[in-house]
Amino acid sequence: MYTVKNALEYIKENTISVKDDCWKLGYHIMPPVGWLNDPNGLIQYNDEYHVFYQYYPYGAEWGPMHWGHVKSKDLVNWEQLQVALAPDQPYEKGCFSGSAVDNDGELTLVYTAHDDDKNPKETQCIATSRDGINFTKYENNPVIPNPPEDGTQDFRDPKVWKHEDKWYMVVGNSSNGKGRVLLYYSEDLREWNYKGVIAESDGTLGDMWECPDLFKLGDKYVLVVSPMNMENHKNIYIIGDLDYETGKFIKESYHEIDYGQDFYAAQTFLDNSGRRILIGWMNMWRTKIPTQRKGWAGALTLPRELKLSEDGTVTAMPIEEVKLLRKTSYEFSDIKVTENEEGYLKEVKGKHIEMEVTFDISNCTASKFGILLRASKDHCEGTYIVYDMNTQEIIVDRAKSGEGECCITTASLPLNNSTLKLRAFIDSSSLEVFCNEGEVVLSNRIYPNETNLSIDLFSKDGDVNVGSFKAWELKSIW
């Protein structure tokens, strides 16, 4: 039987292989052992940040879902806590994704109970805690036992928030081969009323919308969904307005949250200072995960602050607190990068690095330029961050990154002025790239040889000037 106690005992006895892994992450949330996927229950509770996550402790592959749990005082230094939820009730074979709210001092987890994979049924349940660590499941679970009659049993991932004097919930669902999001409301988190379908796919955006999230940003509402059976399992957001009276979301436009290969199931929360902060799962279904042979798989992205830009799109940049990780710094300026030259950054090496690079393209003659990282001396291995002047695209090229998926991820990035700013975070087996002020982000897992630590600049078919290059070694939190 799966219990919190059994999970705790197993974790204590089986973390050695993970500690010795060269790809163990230094400053990202990852499992102590076993499998991690969706972030769940993001919340600031009693002045501490809590992050829960989909977790199977007993193997480095997806299994009966538990809720793993970490907390932090600053969003960068995390403490692993005991498993918060285990599938220990008759109505659940897995505790699927959900959210967390502070109900007058009672931390309440709202999650999906998944029952019987041969004839699956998904219901919405709650569990409560006064200390933020030990949770008791509601005796009258499930609080929403069935989807609407016109929906399938794909009925999961509740996200709950309070508006005025009512609680609201969005839940992912499917109907007639189209993904959709349902809206519910409640006075007490226990008795729920169905409001209706808030938004649905037009037939091109997947057949099931997982992990919905709905929040106000600036003067707009943002609906986040993770569509199934859409190319690359993209994570999208839809800009629009919400009418609480009718329960309708008026759509205006949709965009991708992250253009990398390894990003899905994003969730947000509002912290006490009013920031809208997002964390995503930094892996992807049906991809190679070399760390599985060391007994673990999956990680979460750095927390990102979301803002609504003047053009009505959402930008995402690392939270200010990531600067607490900085150690040794490096700084260079006015570098002319020429084709077939190398060794511009000989001093900068490492597994845990933050970089800020400003390219001056006013006199650029190169067709492509960028950064080479985690590279071998002969450049037979390495990951490339490339800007293509002709197509005006930013590219992360993992064709020679080591183990894992050998793929290229690309995003359109037209430049409106004479500079391109890239901010990149390298961890032992991950790379997150933020472009300019966060209008484009690419998250990818990489699995290089542990001895390949070099970083360099490059150009092709001409020259490019680097106005400023700054880098910091980052400390490990584990």
Measured from the Cβ of residue 404, the count of other Cβ atoms closer than 10 Å reads: 21
478 vs 464: CA distance, rounded Å: 39
Phi and psi at 332, nearest 5°, equal: -135, 155
C-alpha to C-alpha distance for 421 and 441, rounded to whole angstroms = 12
The pair of structure tokens assigned to 293 is: 């042979």
| Cα–Cα nearest to 180, from 238, 110, 101 | 238
φ/ψ of residue 284, rounded to 5 = -155, 150
SS3 461: coil
Write down the H helix ranges in 280-323: none
**CB-based contact 44:269 (threshold 8 Å):** yes
Beta pairing partners, 266: none
Bridge partners of 79, per DSSP, are 71
Do the beta carbons of residue 109 and residue 102 sit within 8 Å?
no
38 is catalytic: yes
| 309 close to 315: Cβ distance less than 8 angstroms | yes
Pairwise CA distance, residues 24 & 293, whole Å: 12
Catalytic residue among 20, 21, 38, 241: 38
Going across the sheet that includes 382-388, the strands are 408-412, 393-400, 382-388, 368-375, 454-460
Q: Active-site positions? A: 38
